[in-house]
Amino acid sequence: MKKRITTVVMSIVSILAIGQTNYYVSPTGSNTNNGSISAPWLHIQYGLDQLSSGDTLNLETGTYNEKIQIPGNGIVLRNKIGNSPIIDATGWAGQESIVEIYDVSNFTIDGIELQNNIMPDAQGIVVGNNCQNITIKNCIIHDIHFSANASDPVTENTNAQGIIVYGTDGTNSITNLNIINNELYNCRLGYSEGIAVNGNVDGFEVSGNLVHDITNIGLDFIGFEDTSPTPANDQARNGLVKNNTTYNCISSYATSGGIYVDGGKSIIIE
């Protein structure tokens, strides 16, 4: 019996291993390569578009200048172990977010630096529509600004966001959202926030993040801004917010603070 059980377990492990593949991207790679560790691809988006559920795309150290749209379910985008990749938005116009996560499930982004997105409504990472099991962890996000000129006037229409989650579906909630161990700093956000969870989001954890030296609220959990078309679902809820550090989240033009619950409900903060 023991031998039979061992055989079954080994078979299951083998099946799982077949379905999980690591691929690689490098600034010195080529999209004609096969994406292996010895023959990495050049572009992140190209690599993502080749993945299947269960695959991981590992980024080598370097600076990548490209917008990222997550194409499917069950994938991981991360730094190659020991590497420090940067996605830099310098020179962009009209693209708003560096990383877009829309209508996908079981996705993780881990250990990537995002920087220099400077335009109206600039965003580091946006999560939206119908998403489940999304994890954003160990990322560094900085220099996300609504304008290149620090002296530009601020109105309710001047906004930028480090990480923003929009639960826009009327029925299907964003669930099992995890924003963990990220750092966000040096952002001019106008009337928006460093990390915000807004609308139809039911079940989330925001923990271990460091948010500092930004021009408005650090962490915000929002409801009733007509983000979701169903009023009863239009609020971030059932969340755990713990072990975060915020400082110098200061606005001269609006009420600001480190952590703000603005219409959310059933949220534990500790």
- In the chain, what are the domain boundaries? 89-269
Query: Which residue do the tokens 């956000």 mark?
Result: 189
pLDDT above 70 covers a percentage of the chain that reads 93
| Residue 19: pLDDT over 60 | no
| Residue 26: pLDDT over 90 | yes
Confidence of residue 8 (pLDDT cuts 50, 70, 90): very low
Which SS3 state, helix, strand or coil, does residue 45 take?
Answer: helix
Question: What confidence score (pLDDT) does residue 93 get?
Answer: 84
Q: What is the pLDDT of residues 237-254, one digit of tens each?
A: 999 999 999 999 999 888
Which SS3 state, helix, strand or coil, does residue 12 take?
Answer: helix
**Is 89:115 a contact under the CB 8 Å cutoff?**
yes
CA gap 25, 62 in Å, rounded: 10
**Is 144:162 a contact under the CB 8 Å cutoff?**
yes
Phi, psi (degrees; rounded to nearest 5) at 102: -125, 130
| Residue 18: pLDDT over 70 | no
Q: Give residues with Cβ within 8 angstroms of 199, minimum separation 6.
A: 166, 167, 168, 222, 223, 225, 227, 228, 233, 234, 235, 236
Q: Which of 56-60, 91-95, 216-220 has the lowest mean pLDDT?
A: 91-95
Question: What confidence score (pLDDT) does residue 95 get?
Answer: 76
* β-bridge mates for residue 192, sequence order: none
Q: Which of 19-23, 67-71, 107-111 has the lowest mean pLDDT?
A: 19-23
Ramachandran assignment for 194, one of left (phi > 0), alpha (psi -120 to 50 degrees), beta (any other): alpha
| Residue 9: pLDDT over 90 | no
CA gap 43, 246 in Å, rounded: 34
Question: What confidence score (pLDDT) does residue 186 get?
Answer: 98
Q: What is the pLDDT of residues 172-186, one digit of tens each?
A: 999 999 999 999 999
Q: What is the pLDDT of residues 78-131, one digit of tens each?
A: 999 999 999 999 999 877 899 999 999 999 999 999 999 999 999 999 999 999
**120: which 2 tokens?**
């109206």
**How many Cβ atoms from other residues are within 10 Å of residue 236's Cβ?**
32
